[in-house]
Amino acid sequence: MTDVAFAAIDQRKVAVASQWQLVWWAFKRHRLAMIGLWVTAFFYLIAVIPGFFAINDPSQQNARAAYQPPQGLHFIDTAADGSWSFRPYFHPTTLKRDPQTLAAVHVPDTSRKIYVTMFGEGYEYSVLGVFSARTHLFVSSEARQPLFLLGADRLGRCVWSRIMQGTQISLSVGLVGVFLSLLLGIVLGGISGYYGGRIDFVIQRTIEFILALPTIPIWLAMAAALPQDWPATLNYFMITVILSLTGWAQLARVVRGRFLSLRTEEFVTAARLDGASEGRIIFRHMLPSFASHIIASITLAIPAMILAETSLSFLGLGLQPPTISWGVLLREAQNIRSIATAPWLFAPGIAVVIAVIALNFLGDGLRDAADPYNK
């Protein structure tokens, strides 16, 4: 394949192309995977500085804005004289009571326009706990008339801003959980593959056992064991630990498989005969060979973690408010009454779906490109 697939690239460049270069060329031809890469990168950018992408303080309650529907943005501003310009604005809403049902109704006031300021000043947020900033991607130009792009929830909190904030927790749970799984997986899978024999047997049976168990009841039981009064960070950490306790088995299996097949590769034997030390064989010869496969595997494991966190939090046994994650947000959409009145509460679910699809595309592309040397 290397000959044909990269024929478009200068052969002299191919001749001196390293593994990662070849993987990248193969990956680049995978259009969906490239889209996945960009979307994922964008999501993680949001996860790093959610405050910048938020509009309103995600924890700010606003009784007047309870169940405020999304306010549509208008991009073309037409002046009275018929001329127009590109200037996003929205109509403010006023709270009225339905005379019959006495229910609160948000009525847009189409006579007024409130402009949206790009890179405007808004509430103060902290960037990774290092410094604080006030600049936002966009804010309402009138502080007293906040913009609810995706509406507001029961307590009048801005759904858009809460989704942005939730990105941080939801995506990092995936990352941290996968990292813990990987640690367990590499250590146990590596031991299993390297030593073989009885240790391998025991670890293999354990892996099979764990894979045969349904995860949700076990997660539920473990999560139910967490004290409700633990601090948010500890709770967060314990949830990721719980998720990775079952997640490692899959990775350990991949690691072991690669390890076993590599151990018998001729070039590894050759390195041994060259006099290379055990450490050099593992780190210089074997590790680079499966690094790309491992990266692909963990990319495919992250979405599973995200879904798991979302499910657990949704059931009320995962992360607890006031921590904001997509699962916690979806809890608001749990009963039929609230989603019937405020369907925009589903919006965090859309964020979950997009993130998971993007990561799956990315992981699929990586897996296909991971071994550029085989046909």
Partner 1 sequence: MTVVDLSSRRADAAAAPPRAVLEVRDLVTHFPTRTGVVKAVDGVSFTVERGKTLCVVGESGSGKSVTARSILQIVDQPGRIVSGSMLLHRPDGSAVDLATLHPRGREIRAVRGAEIAMIFQEPMSSLSPVHTVGDQIMEVLLLHLRLSKKEARARTVELLRQVEIPHPDKAVDRYTFEFSGGMRQRVMIAMALACNPAMLIADEPTTALDVTTQAEILDLIKRLQQQHGMAVMFITHDMGVVAEIADEVLVMYHGKVMEAGPVDQIFHAPQNDYTKMLIGSVLKLEQKAEIRLKRAPLAEDAPSVIEIDNLKMHFGSPAAPIRAVDDVSLQVKAGETLGIVGESGSGKTTMGRCLLRIYQPTGGAMRYRKADGTVVDLVTADKETLKLCRREIRMIFQDPVGSLNPRMTVAQIIGEPLLVNGIAKGSELDDRVSVLMDQVGLNPDWRERYPHAFSGGQRQRIGIARAISLNPRVIVADEATSALDVSLRSQMLDLMMRLQDELKLSYVFISHDIGVIRYMCDRVSVMYQGRVVETGSTDQVCDAPQHAYTQALLSAIPRPDPRLRSMHKRHRYIA
Partner 2 sequence: MLKFIAKRVLWMIPSLVVISFMAFVLIQLPPGDYVTTYIATLAASNEVVDQNTAADLRARFGLDQPMIVQYWKWITGILLRGDFGLSFEWQQPVGDLIWERMALTLVLTFATLLATWGLALPIGIFSAVRKYSIGDYIATFFSFLGLAIPSFLLALVLMYLAAVEWGQEVGGLFSEQYLNAPWSLAKVWDLIGHLWIPVIILAVSGTASLIRVMRANMLDELNKAYVTTARAKGLSEFRLLMKYPVRLALNPFISTIAWLLPNLVSGSIIVAIVLSLPTAGPLLLQSLMSQDMYLAGAFILLICTLTLIGSLISDILLALVDPRIRLE
Buried b (16+ CB within 10 A) or exposed e, 4-26: eebeeeeeeebeebeeeebbebb
| Pairing relationship of beta strands 74-78 and 121-127 according to DSSP bridges | unpaired
216 near partner 2 (CB under 8 A): yes
| Binding partner selected for residue 346 from partner 1, partner 2, none, CB under the kind-specific 5 to 8 Å limit | partner 2
315 near partner 2 (CB under 8 A): yes
Cβ neighbours of 247 (radius 10 Å): 26
Q: In this chain, which of 79, 80, 273, 340 binds partner 2, going by CB under 8 A?
A: 340
| Binding partner selected for residue 272 from partner 2, partner 1, none, CB under the kind-specific 5 to 8 Å limit | partner 1
Q: Which is nearer to partner 2, 66 or 238 (CB)?
A: 238
| Binding partner selected for residue 303 from partner 1, partner 2, none, CB under the kind-specific 5 to 8 Å limit | partner 2
Cβ neighbours of 161 (radius 10 Å): 30
1 near partner 2 (CB under 8 A): no
Least distance in Å: CB of 276 to partner 2?
35
Contact between 73 and 179 under an 8 Å Cβ cutoff? The reply is no
Give DSSP secondary structure letters for 26-42.
HHHT-HHHHHHHHHHHH
| Pairing relationship of beta strands 121-127 and 131-135 according to DSSP bridges | antiparallel
Print the binding letters for residues 286-305 with partner 2: x by CB under 8 A, - otherwise.
Answer: -----------------x--
Bond into 322 cis (ω within 30): yes
Q: In this chain, which of 93, 215, 240, 292 binds partner 2, going by CB under 8 A?
A: 215
4 near partner 2 (CB under 8 A): no
> Which helix H or strand E contains 97, and what residues bound it?
strand 93-97
The contact set with partner 1 (CB under 8 A) reads 2, 4-5, 7-8, 11, 14-19, 22, 265-267, 269-277, 280, 285, 288-289, 373
| Binding partner selected for residue 148 from partner 1, partner 2, none, CB under the kind-specific 5 to 8 Å limit | none
In DSSP terms, which residues pair with 106 in a beta bridge? 95
Buried b (16+ CB within 10 A) or exposed e, 279-306: eebbeebbeebbebbbbbbbbbbbbbbb
| Binding partner selected for residue 80 from partner 1, partner 2, none, CB under the kind-specific 5 to 8 Å limit | none
CA 75 – CA 291 distance, rounded (Å): 47
Piece of 131-139, 151-159, 212-220, 275-283 that binds partner 2 (CB under 8 A): 212-220
Least distance in Å: CB of 28 to partner 2?
19
Q: In this chain, which of 209, 267, 270, 284 binds partner 2, going by CB under 8 A?
A: 209
| Binding partner selected for residue 63 from partner 2, partner 1, none, CB under the kind-specific 5 to 8 Å limit | none
Place of tokens 């921590």: 323
Q: Where are the alpha helices (DSSP H) in the chain?
A: 2-5, 11-15, 19-28, 31-48, 50-53, 159-195, 197-212, 215-225, 232-263, 266-274, 278-280, 287-314, 326-331, 336-341, 347-369
Q: In this chain, which of 360, 362, 369, 372 binds partner 2, going by CB under 8 A?
A: 360
Q: In this chain, which of 310, 320, 323, 325 binds partner 2, going by CB under 8 A?
A: 310
Enter the DSSP assignment of 318: S
For the chain, the distance separating the N- and C-terminal CA atoms, rounded to the nearest angstrom, is 5
225 near partner 2 (CB under 8 A): yes
| Binding partner selected for residue 213 from partner 1, partner 2, none, CB under the kind-specific 5 to 8 Å limit | partner 2
Number of residues engaging partner 2 in binding (CB under 8 A): 39
Q: In this chain, which of 361, 362, 369, 372 binds partner 2, going by CB under 8 A?
A: 361
Nearest to 352, CA basis, from 295, 315, 308: 308
Least distance in Å: CB of 15 to partner 1?
3
Binding site for partner 2 (CB under 8 A): 209, 211-218, 220-222, 224-225, 227, 303, 307, 310-311, 314-317, 330, 333-334, 336, 339-340, 343, 346, 349, 352-354, 356-357, 360-361
